[in-house]
Amino acid sequence: MIYLTIAFWIWGAACIVALVQGVLLGLHTWEHRRFARRRIRDSRPVDQTRRVALLSPCKGLDLQLESNLLHLLRQDYQNYEVVFIVESDTDPALEVIQRLIQRESQVPARIIIAGRALETGQKIHNLATATAQLGADVEILAFVDSDVCPEPDWLARLVTRLSRPDSGAITGYRWFVPVRLTLANCLLYSINASIAALLGSGGQSIVWGGSWAIRRSDFESLGIRESWQGTISDDLVATRAVQAARLPIDFEPACMTESPMDYSLLGLGSFLRRQHMIGRIYAPRIWYQSLCLMILSTVAVFGAIGLLTASLIFNENWSRWAAGFLVTWYALQVYRGWLRHGLAQVYVQNWTKCTTWAALFDVWAAPLSLLYNTLAMCSASFGSRIVWRGITYDLDRQGRLMRVLQPAVLPSSVAGRQLRYDLAEPLSPASDRVPLERETRLPPRETPRR
């Protein structure tokens, strides 16, 4: 009997933590929505005199790759160049990049073939190679992943926020947009939306490597390129360097990027495990705090479901406690999901029926998303081998790379070579451009993005 009493009090404590967490996260999500609406409406004039290098590491054929990269060549910023980096001349992304650059001749662009990484992550090797080959006139470095689709004013917004002298780094994030209505896509949409909602004002964000910018002088003085060596996480390592210098990392809502996704349940499990493992290795304090809170919430919710079921079977008088907690907790989750639905209407331009159903899943299926994400975090609490884009990395406890297992392919014959595409002809009229390959159907909006 004493064990049941102890278990009951543990469950009760977990319930209190889950409810407090639900209230605080609800308030934070409300504040995020208010902050995002205000920032996106803020259209300051952009100083376009500072030269920007926009670096995009590419590997393989991402979903909607051509459309994503096309948006990089059509930014509403005059003084920038795009630097695409691939591992080898056999990468299938290279053909897509070359075709786009030749078609979109308005922006200076070049391709760097970095060669294989032997002592660091391939993405980091690509970025380190590219940042060491920039022109002397480059003042700002902007980084973007090839699997996201930034809006036309994305680069200008990053540069504008860096105009303040006390800025350290400016970061955006991704909002996943499912291309098919599947359980895996709905789960990932919900989990990612919950993480995105944690961002906000205050200068205490974490750099997300798929959408961020930093002054070149800060990048060099902080030794970020040197800090990257022997690691596989570009953003969390950069976060540590910026925070060690006591510089703020500001989240810019206008730099939230859409990311098309289509996962199976098996692929989703692998993706979440890899992401959580990287967090555990490179940001252990925050990750373990998150794991503890997730476990407590999961114990509280599913413990209440088990207690309610047992009380109905054995006709015990426990149901009121379990039912009261479940109703309160679920109401808080539905409210948070409704707030995130409002955020999605602010952030997502490429709105489809799949997005609508995924957003409704996020509102009403919180227990399922909680359970899946908790299991993914628990599976990532052990092991040090990460598979990322077909490459296997063995890490030590500090995140230093011990071994790289590359797939067996022919080495690039042009490693280190640059392919440059400058302005070959005058700017063509907008009517002559190939239209962006994106849907334009939008739902009724609470706040227009632009």
Model pLDDT for residues 162-191, shown as the tens digit of each residue: 988 888 999 999 999 999 999 999 999 999
Quickly tell me which residue has 């060099």 as its tokens. Answer: 220
CA 297, chain centre distance (Å): 24
Residue 103 backbone dihedrals phi, psi, to 5 degrees: -80, -35
Model pLDDT for residues 27-71, shown as the tens digit of each residue: 999 999 999 999 998 877 778 889 999 999 999 999 999 999 999
Alpha helices per DSSP H over 283-389: 284-314, 319-347, 353-364, 366-379
Residue 254 backbone dihedrals phi, psi, to 5 degrees: -65, -10
**CB-based contact 106:179 (threshold 8 Å):** no
Contacts of 221 (CB under 8 A, 6+ apart): none
Model pLDDT for residues 324-368, shown as the tens digit of each residue: 999 999 999 999 999 999 999 999 998 999 999 999 999 999 999
CA 166, chain centre distance (Å): 25
Where are the domains positioned within the chain?
A: 45-273+408-427
* pTM given for the model: 0.89
140 SS3 class: strand
User: For the chain, what is the mean pLDDT?
Assistant: 88
In the numeric block, which tokens belong to residue 101?
Answer: 């650059």
Strand partners, 405: 392
Alpha-carbon gap, residue 415 to 234, rounded angstroms: 22
Quickly list DSSP for 175-191: EEEESS--HHHHHHHHH
Residue 46 backbone dihedrals phi, psi, to 5 degrees: -100, 130
Report the topology of domain 45-273+408-427. Answer: Spore Coat Polysaccharide Biosynthesis Protein SpsA; Chain A (3.90.550)
Count of beta carbons in the 10 Å neighbourhood of residue 224: 24
